[in-house]
Amino acid sequence: MQAASARQAPLEMFFPDEASRVACAGAIRRMMESVPGSYAAALATIDGKPVIHVAPSDWRHARVAAIVGSLCALGETLGKEVNQRACRNVLIETESGLTVVQRLPSPAERLILLTTSNREANLGVLLTYSRTCAAAIARLAARPG
């Protein structure tokens, strides 16, 4: 059971049928259309593997997914270390934009959504639609194993 899923690519593991994959990509596109300035989004596993993305062609997806996995774990670890509970997201603010990294809600807590935007985006709008998108994808994802 475990061994069978181990050989599966993460995309097939979490979205076994074509319809759920299309719906997942659709949820990501809708989120991006709702957030002015949004220019990329990616789904990764919590152990740092790429699942699906809508992103510029020069993105190195394997690296982005690995960094997302590390960052999410560090965000949650730091949150606990400073006596906070239930990390909601890790927010990166740069001179040129905003990036939000968040774990999906149950039953897809083994997936992480990254959404990123340029300076045009409003933080509240980005956070709102990122959360909605994360919840929508969680409803589509299969529980692995």
CB of 51 to other proteins, least distance (A): 10
Binding mask 58-97 for other proteins (x = CB under 8 A): ----xx-xxx-xxxxxx--x---x----------------
- 3-class secondary structure for 50-111? EEEEECCCCCCHHHHHHHHHHHHHHHHHHHHHCCCCCCCCEEEEECCEEEEEEECCCCCCCE
Pick from 102, 107, 109: nearest CA to 133: 102
- In terms of Cβ atoms closer than 10 Å to its own Cβ (0-12, 13-18, 19+), residue 68 is buried
CB of 53 to other proteins, least distance (A): 15
**Nearer Cβ to other proteins, position 38 or 45?**
45
**Nearer Cβ to other proteins, position 23 or 66?**
66
Contact 45, 110 (CB under 8 A): yes
Considering CB under 8 A, how many residues would be counted as binding other proteins?
Answer: 25
**Nearer Cβ to other proteins, position 87 or 127?**
87
| Bond from prior residue into 107 cis (ω within 30 degrees of 0) | yes
Task: Report if residue 6 touches other proteins, rule: CB under 8 A.
Answer: yes
CB of 84 to other proteins, least distance (A): 15
List contacts with other proteins (CB under 8 A).
2, 5-6, 10, 13, 45-49, 62-63, 65-67, 69-74, 77, 81, 110, 144
